[in-house]
Amino acid sequence: MKHFVALTCEALARSLYAVAAAAPHTISIRLFRQGLHNTPNTLRDTLQAEIDTIQPGTCDAIVLAYGMCGLSTVGLTAWHTPLVIPRTHDCIAIYLGSHQRYQVEFDTNPGTYWYSLDYMERNEAGAAVALGAASLGAMDGVYEDYVARYGQDNADYLMEVMGEWGKHYNRAVYIDMGTGDGHAYEQMARDEAARRGWTYERKQGDPRLLRLLVSGDWPEDEFLVVPPGNRITQAAGDGLIQVERVGVCVDAHHD
């Protein structure tokens, strides 16, 4: 039996706890606030700081229940213990169970807002908020500020321009991960879709990527294992991410 330290976003909390409970190894979960990906440098610094607190020899691997999340996880460095991360864009692929399934969904309907119990129950800004990019609701308090600063004519223009992208979104999907009672949240997602005139769908999530992450079985096409002395970099081709040797002596970092 091995010991993995799992770093995860709150958005995957229930799902990761569920698979960790049934994992063949000892899993220590460390939870980080959701929404940090809005400033990728903050999320990266937060995760790296946590990685750096883990002492050599205290676990067999540090597994990350994160995707690229913007470029938040690009640059994370393994100093003495391997890092493992799924090759996915973000948590939506992790909810859906594979990069391929998310890619099909994205290619078919890019204008989709995704909802889940894990994310909504911990959302400080209000539960009926979708995953991912800036929410439409985030613009609500801004108008008065714009009027005061730039005048009403410009404020109207700014609201129109800044809200334009939201008009291209036309579907809400609630992902059921099979953990807890998400009925109330599902209803909120359904109501939000009705209010905004989007179509609504419910999809069954699949914890297989999370299960693999804590299993120690990391297929190369779906996971990147970052050996000590390497960091995560972006890759333009298939696989999304790759490793790159760090240009400093590993021991020197801890001197």
Partner 1 sequence: MSDNVLINQIREAVIDGQAKVAVAKVEEALAEGLNPEVILHDGLISAMTEVGQLFEDGEFFVPEMLIAARAMKGALELLKPLLVDQGVEPLGKIAIGTVKGDLHDIGKSLVAMMLEGAGFEVADLGVDVSPEKFIAEVKNGAQIVAMSALLTTTMPNMKTTIDAIVEAGLRSQTVIMVGGAPVTQAYAEQIGADGYASDASAAVRKAHELIGQ
Given the complex with partner 1, which of 68 and 189 has the nearer CB atom?
A: 68
If the CB atoms of residues 124 and 153 are measured against partner 1, the closer one turns out to be: 153
Total length of the chain: 255
b/e map 178-201, b = 16+ CB within 10 Å: ebeebeebbebbbebbeeeebebb
Residue 102 C-beta: closest distance to partner 1, Å:
8
Q: How many CA atoms lie within 13 A of 98 on its CB side?
A: 6
Q: Mapping DSSP to helix (H, G, I), strand (E, B) and coil, where does residue 13 land?
A: helix
CB closer to partner 1, 158 vs 189 = 158
Residues forming the site for partner 1 (CB under 8 A): 68, 70-71, 89-90, 103, 106-107, 110-111, 133, 146, 149-150, 153-154, 157-158, 161-162, 164-165, 168-169, 233-236, 240
CB of 190 to partner 1, least distance (A): 22
Toward partner 1, which CB reaches closer, 157 or 191?
A: 157
- Which CB sits closer to partner 1, 14 or 87? 87
| Minimal distance, residue 15 CB to partner 1, in Å | 21
d(CA 222, CA 38) in angstroms, rounded, equals 25
Minimal distance, residue 165 CB to partner 1, in Å = 5
Q: Are the CB atoms for 11 and 116 separated by under 8 Å?
A: yes
d(CA 229, CA 250): 6
The total of other beta-carbon atoms located within 10 Å of residue 147's CB is 16
**From the CB of 148, what's the least distance to partner 1, in Å?**
12
